[in-house]
Amino acid sequence: MWGTLQNLWDRVKPFDCATQSCTGFHDLNQLPAEISQSVSDSYPPNHNYSVVDDRLLPSRKLGTRVAHFRKYYPRQLTSLLDLSCSKGFFVFDAARESTCERALGIDLCDKTLATCRQLKQHFEHSERVSIEKLSLAELACQIDAFGGTFETALLVNTYQYLFFGSPIAPALSRDHCEIFRQIRRVCHGRVIFHNRVTLNRVQKHIRETADGAEWGRFYTPEAIRSAASEFFRVTELPVWGGHPVWLLDAL
């Protein structure tokens, strides 16, 4: 009930994108036009923002997501890892916190990684930001090169790709335990997990593949949560934005 009310309120409450803006940039007007255009209107649409003067102004959906997940950050964020950084808003937003020494975004999409790197050149705390084309497994093998494990990690709307694969990369593993083992290797604190955890909620292009048919019966909230609980204490929060939010605190 509370979750439903909160979801409804998030959709209708007055939204001032300025209060959620990510400051600390300079000379953004020198960004190539195609970058400014693509961050405001591209996949995923809930990660769209505008580039204005010295800041990134999130769309309502993105601003609402950032505000929601921030509630689960530690009071003083010291390091953040975004396991699918996409257009980078969560990474830059973390790195502008004075206490945040390291913010790393990994992804496998060349286009969005290039966008993040362009933005980094205009960011005043760029020494705190790393953007890398790495899979979770590749990162786990070289985590010391990035200053060691991270205190806070985001795994948002990506778990289905780690399990089923996608056109840009194969599955990390068909074993949920192995996926969480790798996540635990890169995060010693809290993972904020907001993902599609039932086959009927994953994207149609996954559901309708042979893999979806073959492996879908193993893609259940119970199986995923049970694997997560081998490495993390799992706190289930009310469904938000159509999907569960789990806080995974490292054991």
Among the residue ranges 33-41, 73-81, 124-132, 157-165, the one whose residues contact ligand SAM (CB under 6 A): 157-165
Amino acid sitting at position 34: E
Q: Does 158 bind ligand SAM (CB under 6 A)?
A: yes
- Tell the burial category of 82 from Cβ atoms under 10 Å away from its Cβ (0-12, 13-18, 19+): buried
* C-alpha distances out from residue 131 to 104, 121, 225, 234, 236, Å: 6, 12, 29, 28, 30
Q: Does 151 bind ligand SAM (CB under 6 A)?
A: no
Q: Does 93 bind ligand SAM (CB under 6 A)?
A: no
Q: Does 168 bind ligand SAM (CB under 6 A)?
A: yes
Q: Does 166 bind ligand SAM (CB under 6 A)?
A: yes
Pick from 59, 79, 86, 115 the residue near ligand SAM by CB under 6 A: 86
Closest to ligand SAM by CB, 65 or 128:
65
Q: How far is the CB of 160 from ligand SAM (least distance, A)?
A: 9
Q: How far is the CB of 86 from ligand SAM (least distance, A)?
A: 4
User: CB-based contacts of 64: which residues, under 8 Å, 6+ apart?
Assistant: 10, 15
Instruction: Give yes or no for a contact between 138 and 186, defined as CB atoms under 8 angstroms apart.
Output: no
Classify residue 53 as left (phi > 0), alpha (psi -120 to 50) or beta. Answer: left
Phi–psi pair at 247, nearest 5 degrees:
-100, 125
Pick from 25, 150, 159, 161 the residue near ligand SAM by CB under 6 A: 161
Pick from 20, 22, 39, 47 the residue near ligand SAM by CB under 6 A: 47
> What is the rounded CA–CA span in Å between residue 90 and residue 194?
14
Among the residue ranges 21-29, 104-112, 142-150, 228-236, the one whose residues contact ligand SAM (CB under 6 A): 104-112
> What is the rounded CA–CA span in Å between residue 79 and residue 20?
20
Other Cβ atoms less than 10 A from the Cβ of 54: the count is 16
Taking CA 157 as the corner, what is the angle to CA 70 and CA 90, rounded to the nearest 5 degrees? 35
Pick from 157, 206, 227, 228 the residue near ligand SAM by CB under 6 A: 157
Q: Does 18 bind ligand SAM (CB under 6 A)?
A: no
Closest to ligand SAM by CB, 75 or 89:
89
Residues in 200-239 that interact with ligand SAM by CB under 6 A: none
Please give the residue ranges that form the binding site for ligand SAM (CB under 6 A): 44, 47, 84, 86, 107-109, 156-158, 161-162, 165-166, 168-169
